[in-house]
Amino acid sequence: MKNIILLGPPGAGKGTQARKLVEERGMVQLSTGDMLREARTSGTEMGRKVAEVMDRGGLVTDEIVIGLIEEKMNGARGAGFIFDGFPRTLPQADALGAMLKRSGRELDAVIEMRVDDDALVRRITGRFTCGNCGEVYHDETRQTAKAGVCDVCGSTDLRRRADDNAESLKVRLMEYYKKTSPLIGYYYALGDLFTIDGLAEVGEVANSLADVLDQAPVS
């Protein structure tokens, strides 16, 4: 059983790789972005506030995301957790450490996916996903086999995210450098940090991740 964090800026490929790990290793993906996208459709006041913050590229409050992740962790079973997009701030990292400890689990690896900003812009502005199964595509690097139809589930509900535009991306990147990148030092100091080249082709990134997973000590 391995519990890992995928750490990287918007568009680093966290979701793409997390989906592969779920398929290939039976791990459980805990994506706070997906949880918040679900919450924003709830029609509640909280959902409305979440939508406003996400669309402009800001970070939702620690209190909300910690609550969401704790709820999902309690009900999930699988061959370890992949924390995708969480933690994103130092208080979230402290809260995760405490949650894992309370549940008798350990963190095995924090994998920093390094990608330069120019590539991130190209990746984010070309991304689209299947609204039914969540499969991730790209206009240039990963098109559907049949235009407008998801390869995995056959749905024609292909969508672009409201925050995948140049203006929101600027804010998202700034939030990453200001509030999330300090976690690199935090986890380095704890001895949990591994860094991989996120610029490589998807299969090569998956191989680098597998190498880390297979060498990280088992909890």
Active-site pick, 2, 14, 19, 20: 14
Q: Is 127 in the site for ligand AP5 (CB under 6 A)?
A: yes
Q: Is 141 in the site for ligand AP5 (CB under 6 A)?
A: yes
Q: Is 114 in the site for ligand AP5 (CB under 6 A)?
A: no
Active-site pick, 2, 19, 123, 172: 172
CA-CA distance, 89 to 125, in Å (whole number)?
Answer: 25
Please, what sign has the CA dihedral across residues 62, 59, 175, 7? Answer: positive
- Give the CA dihedral 29, 97, 33, 109, nearest 10 degrees: -50
Q: Which positions from 18 to 37 touch ligand AP5 by CB under 6 A, shown as an x/- string?
A: --------------xx--x-
CA-CA distance, 169 to 166, in Å (whole number)?
Answer: 5
159 labelled catalytic: no
Give the β-pairing of 158-159 and 127-130.
antiparallel
Give the β-pairing of 136-138 and 127-130.
antiparallel
14 labelled catalytic: yes
Restricting to residues 160-179, name those near ligand AP5 by CB under 6 A.
163, 172
Where do we find the tokens 């990746």? Answer: 123
Least distance between ligand AP5 and beta carbon 10 (Å): 3
Cα atoms in the Cβ-side hemisphere of radius 13 Å centred on 15? 20
Q: Is 12 in the site for ligand AP5 (CB under 6 A)?
A: yes
Q: Is 72 in the site for ligand AP5 (CB under 6 A)?
A: no
**Annotated catalytic sites, by residue?**
14, 88, 127, 161, 172
Per CB under 6 A, residues contacting ligand AP5 are: 8, 10-16, 32-33, 36, 53-54, 57-60, 65, 85-86, 88, 92, 123-124, 126-127, 136-138, 141-142, 163, 172, 201-202, 205
